[in-house]
Chains A and B, each alone.
Chain A
Amino acid sequence: MSDLQVFRQESRDWLEENCPQSMRSPVIAGEGACWGGRNWTFTSEDQKLWLERMGAKGWTAPDWPTEYGGGGLDKAEHKILKEEMARIRARSPLDSFGVWMIGPALLKFGSEALKQQHLPAIIRGEIRWCQGYSEPNAGSDLAGLQSKAVDMGDHFIANGQKVWTSYGDKADWMFCLLRTDPDAKKQMGISLVLFDMETPGVTPKPIKLISGSSPFCETFLDDVRVEKDQVVGEVNQGWTIAKYLLTHEREMIGGMGLTDAGSKTLGAIAAKTVGTTDGRLNDLFMRTDVARWEIDAAAFAFTAERVTDEAKAGQGIGATSAMLKYYGTELNKRRFETMLKIGGSDDLIWEGDISNNGWTARTLLRTKGNSIEGGTSEVQLNIIAKNILGLG
């Protein structure tokens, strides 16, 4: 057996032994997901166990170095682990802005001390992070941000306002972009800093969304003390790191275009709901919608696979995160439009058991944000046109 075959067998055995049965079904649109952190209430004992076991093995961050508690897997092993998890429909043990966003930025740009301080806690799911990028007047034009940090000698004092801070009221720490040089050119005077959300002067206020839930906040910063050793990379050099982090965020959000392994296909849901005659869905226009969506979704899934394989083989153009983000999120929006049509009038019911508390309608509304968060679809198209196609 080759090393990879051995790895596959060992992973399979380990997962078989350690993944609780109730964790072997997909998390659909967030229900049953585990975010961890100081304030997290586990939805079940199994959820807790699953996070602890995977965290201890470093498989919440499979490709991070073992010295910080990560899994230390190379790309080929990582792919095998994903396949083995999909095989038993194991759900992700941890959803985490730490793993998806600030962790990779720390690994690439952070000091050794920052890595030692933050990475192990991210891997074990002990600290939950939020992202303080957007401001009322700095959305797509993020580099126009105005919240600032003033150098007080041994520390900074931050003031300003962030907005659309996802889970700002649930998170333990924030990674935050602040202007540290008001006189420098837009992109040049920005720093990426880290602080505890319990620091005096940090006030997250939930904002209610069209879906009825309040997953994000406006976050006010009033004379917040930021320690100097919590600057990632150099002072005033935060923009490069911020952009690097955004490419990770985009890949993660673009992944929403992928159907969760093991969940029912749109075609199967439609067939069950409206029935078939001679193997054809009874509503022929719906059938067309579903087939079109499934064809595009398959093409997208193969593209995600190809891009990963090309990167592994050192081929391809890279810089594909804008395309995956654009296509994946537009696809996810179409998916829920089709789902709602399949679900019919029952799925319009906002609360109660008939519609599982308006699950489809609320999720549909939430997906509208997919093509806004992490950079809008239009911004992704701008990036493709400029960076990949060379159109000035």
Chain B
Amino acid sequence: MALVLNEEQQMLKESAQGFLSEHAPVSELRAQRDAGSDRGYSSTLWSQMVNMGWAAILVPEEYGGLAFGHVGMAQIVEQSGRTLTASPLLSTAILGVTAINLAGSEDQKTELLGAIAGGELTIALAVDEKIHHDPMQTAMPAVAKGDGYVLNGEKRFVVDGSTADKLIVATRTAGSPGDMKGISLFLVDRTASGVSVQRTEMLDGRNAAIITFTDVEVTADAMLGEQDRGFRALSATLDAGNAHLSAELLGIAQESFDRTLQYMKERKQFGALIGSFQALQHRTAHWWSEIEMCKSVVLKVLQSLDEGDVRGSALASIAKAKLCEVAELSTNEAIQLHGGIGMTDEYEIGFFIKRARPAQMLFGDYNYHANRFALISGY
């Protein structure tokens, strides 16, 4: 498949650009933060997104969705990186939909996917137990009891964990941490008895949570997929998540770059535009080249998700690693080339580094994905 957007994807990109820059620019994020919003996103905005069909993009047609694919969805996500728009798109419409669609029973799909597409249900994915992402290390026990299970343990860095209606929880039903086999996924209501949610506001002003499960009882039909065989679906869901996080980081990198380039054409020192200094020109040209690399890896992994390419996992790790590296470069260069003003809260450029770092770390940073890529490649 040619590595370019088709006409429909291009149109979606443009409409996302228009909508988000009008309704959810960076100033909205600031307003949310300053108002001390306890949701971390605007419900009105989310309703508008749902009305435009964005929650339904990955949902198959038979469950009331648009089946427009990952490349299409990522055009919105990339723009939301440029505008730093907070919304449940990632947790609900990407991770939630992907996990349920891959692992869910017919009943679960019918019930849940339609509800997501219609904006009636939000989801959060609860995977990490330690401060570094490593899903195979899942330890939290789910023990069979009667015709259901009992869950005990703690999950951290659960994005949207304090607002979502339902949690998808990775647990261990067999084997030991490090085993691929023995991991099972459960759907748990956030308000279920024994679930305790501690909201942790992150440096990006958004929502995450540490969630404690104390003797949480669920029925057998709360299981998503087969017992002990949840890792495949979890891993594929995380691949999709990382592909879209890469798209978001691409938006962040590009917007940091564009704003800095503009600034270099306005700011004068030593009687000249700072953009005329070769020391800065070379740094900027190198930076631009790195972003060109990023555009290609992101589109490649998204296309592979839509095509069901067997190299999907390797490509997801390549993309996330590369985007972690270049998002770091971009947000750092952006501040440095702005000089003192880049350090101020009043100026927007500093918001990009604050969103980039959590997006980099979520579901694995550079080190995690370089390591994973190496393992997949046989070294």
Partner of A392, one of B275, B296, B378: B275
Interface size class, chain B? 35 or more
Q: What residues on B are CB-neighbors of A391 within 8 Å? A: 261, 264-265, 275-276, 280-281, 284
Query: A155–B195 Cα gap in the complex (Å)?
Result: 92
Q: Are A276 and B284 in contact (CB under 8 A)?
A: no
Q: Are A291 and B276 in contact (CB under 8 A)?
A: no
Shortest distance from the beta carbon of A73 to any chain B beta carbon, whole Å: 17
CB-CB under 8 A for A392 and B379, given A295-B370, A327-B293: no
Q: Is A86 an interface residue (CB 8 A)?
A: no
Q: What residues on B are CB-neighbors of A320 within 8 Å? A: 292
Most buried by B among A281, A299, A306, A385: A299
Most buried by A among B276, B299, B373, B374: B374
Query: A299–B321 Cα gap in the complex (Å)?
Result: 11
Q: Are B294 and A299 in contact (CB under 8 A)?
A: yes
Query: A294–B264 Cα gap in the complex (Å)?
Result: 33
Query: A315–B322 Cα gap in the complex (Å)?
Result: 24
1/0 per residue, CB under 8 A from A, across B362-379: the answer is: 000000001101110111
Q: What residues on A are CB-neighbors of B377 within 8 Å? A: 265, 267, 291, 294
Q: Is B3 an interface residue (CB 8 A)?
A: yes
Q: Are A306 and B288 in contact (CB under 8 A)?
A: no
Q: Is A21 an interface residue (CB 8 A)?
A: no
Contacting A at CB under 8 A, from B231-249, are none
1/0 per residue, CB under 8 A from B, across A137-178: the answer is: 000000000000000000000000000000000000000000
Shortest distance from the beta carbon of A141 to any chain B beta carbon, whole Å: 15
Q: What residues on B are CB-neighbors of A351 within 8 Å? A: none
Contacting B at CB under 8 A, from A261-313, are 265, 267-268, 270-271, 276, 279-281, 287-288, 290-292, 294-296, 298-300, 302-303, 305-306, 309-310, 312-313
Q: Is B95 an interface residue (CB 8 A)?
A: no
Partner of B4, one of A279, A309, A323: A309
Q: Are A271 and B296 in contact (CB under 8 A)?
A: no
Q: Are B322 and A388 in contact (CB under 8 A)?
A: no
CB-CB under 8 A for A291 and B296, given A281-B379, A309-B3: no
Shortest distance from the beta carbon of B269 to any chain A beta carbon, whole Å: 15
1/0 per residue, CB under 8 A from A, across B274-291: the answer is: 011010111011101100
Closest to A390 in B: B265
Closest to A378 in B: B282
Q: What residues on A are CB-neighbors of B354 within 8 Å? A: none
CB-CB under 8 A for A305 and B296, given A276-B379, A295-B321: yes
CB-CB under 8 A for A299 and B318, given A271-B378, A287-B379, A381-B281: yes
Query: A305–B4 Cα gap in the complex (Å)?
Result: 10
Shortest distance from the beta carbon of A350 to any chain B beta carbon, whole Å: 29
Query: A389–B285 Cα gap in the complex (Å)?
Result: 8
Interface size class, chain A? 35 or more
Query: A296–B275 Cα gap in the complex (Å)?
Result: 28
Q: Is B199 an interface residue (CB 8 A)?
A: no
Q: Is B70 an interface residue (CB 8 A)?
A: no
Closest to B300 in A: A302
Q: Are B374 and A280 in contact (CB under 8 A)?
A: yes
Query: A36–B322 Cα gap in the complex (Å)?
Result: 41
Query: A382–B277 Cα gap in the complex (Å)?
Result: 11
Partner of B293, one of A276, A291, A299: A299
Majority-rule SS of B interface residues: helix
Q: Is B273 an interface residue (CB 8 A)?
A: yes
Contacting B at CB under 8 A, from A340-392, are 378, 380-382, 384-386, 388-392
Partner of A267, one of B282, B294, B300, B379: B379
Q: What residues on B are CB-neighbors of A315 within 8 Å? A: 4
Q: Is B31 an interface residue (CB 8 A)?
A: no
Query: A329–B188 Cα gap in the complex (Å)?
Result: 52
Q: Is A326 an interface residue (CB 8 A)?
A: yes
Closest to A76 in B: B2
Query: A392–B261 Cα gap in the complex (Å)?
Result: 12
Contacting B at CB under 8 A, from A240-269, are 265, 267-268
Q: What residues on A are CB-neighbors of B278 within 8 Å? A: 382, 385
Shortest distance from the beta carbon of B194 to any chain A beta carbon, whole Å: 38
Partner of B374, one of A287, A303, A305: A287
Shortest distance from the beta carbon of B93 to any chain A beta carbon, whole Å: 26
Q: Are B370 and A292 in contact (CB under 8 A)?
A: yes
Q: Is B295 an interface residue (CB 8 A)?
A: yes
Query: A386–B285 Cα gap in the complex (Å)?
Result: 9
Partner of A389, one of B288, B299, B374, B379: B288
Q: Is B136 an interface residue (CB 8 A)?
A: no
Q: What residues on A are CB-neighbors of B374 within 8 Å? A: 267, 280-281, 287, 290-291
CB-CB under 8 A for A290 and B288, given A302-B296, A306-B3, A382-B281: no
Query: A281–B3 Cα gap in the complex (Å)?
Result: 33
Q: Are B293 and A385 in contact (CB under 8 A)?
A: no
Q: Are B281 and A296 in contact (CB under 8 A)?
A: no
Shortest distance from the beta carbon of B350 to any chain A beta carbon, whole Å: 23
Partner of B281, one of A287, A300, A312, A385: A385
Q: Are A389 and B289 in contact (CB under 8 A)?
A: no
Q: What residues on B are CB-neighbors of A385 within 8 Å? A: 278, 281-282, 284-285
Q: What residues on A are CB-neighbors of B296 within 8 Å? A: 299, 302-303, 305-306
Ordered by A's residue number, 15 sampled pairs between the chains whose C-beta atoms are within 8 Å are A276-B379, A279-B375, A280-B379, A287-B379, A291-B373, A294-B373, A296-B293, A299-B294, A302-B300, A306-B295, A310-B4, A323-B289, A386-B281, A391-B261, A392-B275
Given A295-B322, A391-B276, output 9 extra A-B contacts at Cβ < 8 Å.
A290-B374, A291-B373, A302-B296, A306-B4, A309-B4, A310-B3, A313-B2, A315-B4, A389-B285
Closest 3 CB pairs of A and B: A302-B296, A385-B281, A384-B285
